[in-house]
Homo-oligomer: A and B are copies of this chain.
Amino acid sequence: MTRANLISKIFEKQTFLCVGLDTDLTKIPKHLLDSEDPIFEFNKAIIDATHRYAIAYKPNLAFYEASGIKGLQALKKTADYLRKFDVFTIADAKRGDIGNTSEKYAQAFLSPDGDFNFDAITVAPYMGADSVKPFLTFSEKWVILLALTSNKGAFDFQFLKDEKNERFLFETVLETSKEWGTPENMMYVIGATQADWFMKIRQHVPDSFLLVPGVGAQGGSLQEVCKYGMTKDCGLLINASRSILYASDGLDFAEKAEEEAQKMQLEMAELLKNLR
């Protein structure tokens, strides 16, 4: 999906909600566990219930790999099912390896000939340029690079200030990686629990889309993130996982997920009004 296409869909659907498909067999409604493929059944119900309110879906690979081959089959079925809808799909895989190996990961998740064919993949920056660039070679596909994450461990390394550049590691990741891609094929993961930092981040990447986890269950505020992070093109994908997926663990789980997604979409529509 091109950037122009993504932006026009955001304004058409009046939403920049990304639904994180962190499908956990220990948390989904018990009645689904008897079906042949509980992960896919759950995902299908969630997608059916929320796609009118969401612009993107982001399965996190860990939740599928935890069920081994079966889990990956459910992931493939989910990726295939998502293609029926006009949504942006993200493999939240946090991959990254030396150049010839990252090429293989790119092939796995982004190639139109592969089993998954996602629009985007999240990538870890630690190994530098040659670990990231192979993901940028597919047309209309995206890298979403980890910059500032929403977890407590973000403070271990991402806030180290280097003496040469006088800035934090996550800022150097932003500045350095701007040379590898463009706002047309690269976004950044920015954890919403650090809303104070959004202004700083926008100095480094004024136009790039930011994928923001941590709104909802992890405690970030949508209003605050938008105040500092929004651009004239929106420039944000806000992810919610647990707050939507597990809004109820009963027979009404899809209905409650829909309500939750719609609530966020309405709030987002208000925020988009300020732009156009």
Interface residues of A (CB under 8 A from B): 22, 24, 60, 62-63, 65-69, 71-73, 76, 92, 94-99, 101-102, 104-105, 107-109, 114-116, 124-132, 146, 149-158, 160-166, 169, 172-173, 176
Smallest CB separation, A75 vs chain B (Å): 9
Q: How far is the CA of A24 from the CA of B102 in the complex (A)?
A: 13
Q: How many angstroms from the CA of A168 to the CA of B25 in the assembled complex?
A: 41
Give bound CA distance, A157 to B164, whole Å: 12
Q: Establish whether residues B169 and A156, one from each chain, have CB atoms under 8 Å apart when the complex forms.
A: no
**Given A98-B151, A150-B98, A126 contacting B124 (CB threshold 8 A):** yes
In the bound assembly, the distance between CA atoms of A176 and B128 in angstroms comes to: 21
Which residues does chain B contribute within 8 Å of A76, judged by CB atoms? 68-69
Closest Cβ of chain B to A131, distance in Å, is 5
Query: B residues within 8 A CB of A60?
Result: 97, 101, 104
From B24, B105, B157, A126 is in contact (CB under 8 Å) with B157
- Chain B residues closer than 8 Å to A166, beta-carbon distance: 163
Chain B residues with CB under 8 A of A101: 22, 60, 62-63
- A157 CB to nearest B CB, Å: 6
Cβ of A104: which chain B residues have Cβ within 8 Å of it?
24, 60, 62-63, 65-66
Give the CA-CA distance A238 to B104 in the complex, in Å.
23
CA distance A176 to B154 in the complex (A): 13
**Taking CB as reference atom, which chain B residue is nearest A108?**
B65
In the complex, chain B residues whose CB is within 8 Å of the CB of A126: 124-126, 146, 149, 157-158
